[in-house]
Amino acid sequence: MAGTKGLEGIVATESSISSIINDQLTYVGYSIDDLAENSSFEEVIFLLWNKRLPISNELTNLKKDLAENMAIPNELINHLKSYDLKSVHPMAALRTSVSMLGLYDDEADVMDEEANRRKAARIQAKMPAIVAAFARIRKGEEPVAPRKDLNFAANFLYMVNGKVPEDIEEEAMNKALILHADHELNASTFTARVCVATLSDIYSGITSAIGALKGPLHGGANERVMKMLTEIGEPENAIDYIKEKLANKEKIMGMGHRVYRQGDPRAKHLRKMSEHLTEITGQSKWYDMSVLIENYIKEEKGLPANVDFYSASVYHSLGIEHDLFTPIFAVSRVSGWLAHILEQYENNRLIRPRAEYVGPENQVYEPIEHR
């Protein structure tokens, strides 16, 4: 039995939600380029959950359902208020809050498909409200209730900032949410599927997935990209900084990918958004610095920029606090996690691989006083 470190290249399930073939990403067969340019996040949610695009009244109903389900229980708000949130990472707060949401859902352990779909809509709707409430409470501000007349992207920014976003901000958030929505069997999606394959409930699956996304080798990289850019400070420092990191065998956040070899097809959209948004907000240096780093790493290490690299300067130029970058990823990716959970339940089998034992053998137990 040969071990494959990190399960690289192993096909662990069949799925008809998203595919990565020859460095091209599709959701249910629709190119990510097409969706990013033409679609809305709500439409993508429908696509992932139903494996087809909605017709007009279906999209209207989903938007209504999401807007009506956005408000979070007061008990959860009070719970968040009870912590000293200055030392709590928002991903930790999100992980615990989603777990807690399950305590206030009468259907949490009802396992039929219709109930699971209703819970999916509730979780999708409430995640942005949790992130926004956390962001406000820790600044000593009251959470802002969602508005039923705003779409998902606008409502999220409205709840975070307390004001209706400009069109350009809403467009950028909508596109970022589409680009992050699903990605085949990435680590957090796999985590969600492993969890619910025991026939555990949706809240457990999403809570586990948030934990996996939080790590710096996965969704946690976007926050660290901004930390790196901030440390670099000015474009002229970028290459020396990167050289030193590489000499110390440190990884450059936002670079490299387990599956993509030539390039992450989402990065070009985020690069374009970063160029535009940093320019109109008078912060082009973040984009300039990012391009220098991307080109250098491509040249030196042959590694492409991944989705986390340019999303950092995009969110920064939207005025978003840096530790909210990964929670935004989660607000989008939960749509994919939910799609995969529904797909797993439809055709379930326990996920239980093997480990190759490489430890000592034939040991003889010694009583403690003889060791």
Ligand X SMILES: CC(=O)SCCNC(=O)CCNC(=O)[C@H](O)C(C)(C)COP(=O)(O)OP(=O)(O)OC[C@H]1O[C@@H](n2cnc3c(N)ncnc32)[C@H](O)[C@@H]1OP(=O)(O)O
Ligand Y SMILES: O=C([O-])CC(=O)C(=O)O
Residues 277 to 316 in contact with ligand X, rule: CB under 6 A: 301, 303, 306-308
Nearest CA to 169 out of 153, 150, 149 is that of 153
Residues 296 to 335 in contact with ligand Y, rule: CB under 6 A: 306-307
Alpha carbons 228 and 234: distance in angstroms, whole number: 11
Alpha helices in 182-324 (DSSP H): 187-196, 202-213, 221-232, 238-247, 267-280, 284-301, 307-317
**Paired tokens of 101:** 């949401």
Alpha carbons 57 and 54: distance in angstroms, whole number: 8
- Catalytic residue flag (residue 106): no
Of 193 and 218, nearer to ligand X (C-beta) is: 218
Q: Which residue among 52, 139, 258, 301 contacts ligand Y (CB under 6 A)? A: 258
Of the candidate spans 9-17, 256-264, 337-345, 358-366, the one that interacts with ligand X by CB under 6 A turns out to be: 256-264
Q: Per rule CB under 6 A, is residue 116 in the interface with ligand Y?
A: no
Of 277 and 307, nearer to ligand Y (C-beta) is: 307
Element at 130 (helix H, strand E):
helix 113-137
Of 135 and 270, nearer to ligand X (C-beta) is: 270
Q: How far is the CB of 66 from ligand X (least distance, A)?
A: 24
- The DSSP line for 278-289 is HHHTT-HHHHHH
Residue 301 contact partner, candidates ligand Y, ligand X, none, CB within 5 to 8 A by sort of partner:
ligand X
Nearest CA to 18 out of 345, 349, 265, 309 is that of 265
**Paired tokens of 256:** 């490299």
Q: Which residue among 255, 277, 324, 342 contacts ligand X (CB under 6 A)? A: 255
Residue 7 contact partner, candidates ligand Y, ligand X, none, CB within 5 to 8 A by sort of partner:
none
Q: Which of 180, 183, 218, 257 is catalytic?
A: 257
Q: Per rule CB under 6 A, is residue 63 in the interface with ligand X?
A: no
Q: Which of 180, 182, 308, 316 is catalytic?
A: 308
Which residue type, as a one-letter code, is found at position 155? Answer: N
Of 31 and 61, nearer to ligand Y (C-beta) is: 31
Q: Which residue is nearest to ligand Y (CB)?
A: 186
Q: Per rule CB under 6 A, is residue 138 in the interface with ligand Y?
A: no
> Which residues are registered as beta bridge partners of 20?
25
Of 23 and 107, nearer to ligand X (C-beta) is: 23
Q: Which residue among 63, 95, 119, 183 contacts ligand Y (CB under 6 A)? A: 183
Residue 221 contact partner, candidates ligand Y, ligand X, none, CB within 5 to 8 A by sort of partner:
ligand X
Alpha carbons 89 and 138: distance in angstroms, whole number: 11
Nearest CA to 27 out of 11, 12, 43, 13 is that of 43
> Which residues are registered as beta bridge partners of 319?
none
Alpha carbons 127 and 97: distance in angstroms, whole number: 9
- Catalytic residue flag (residue 79): no
Q: Per rule CB under 6 A, is residue 214 in the interface with ligand X?
A: no
Residues 185 to 214 in contact with ligand Y, rule: CB under 6 A: 186
Of 183 and 340, nearer to ligand Y (C-beta) is: 183
Tell me the three state secondary structure of residue 26. strand
Residues 3 to 32 in contact with ligand X, rule: CB under 6 A: 6
Question: How long a stretch of residues is the chain?
Answer: 371
| Contact assessment for residue 121 and residue 65, using Cβ atoms and an 8 Å cutoff | yes
What is the sign, positive or negative, of the torsion defined by CA atoms of 227, 277, 214, 300? negative
* Interface ranges with ligand Y (CB under 6 A): 183, 186, 258-259, 306-307
* Interface ranges with ligand X (CB under 6 A): 6, 217-219, 221, 251-258, 301, 303, 306-308
- Kindly list the catalytic residues: 257, 308
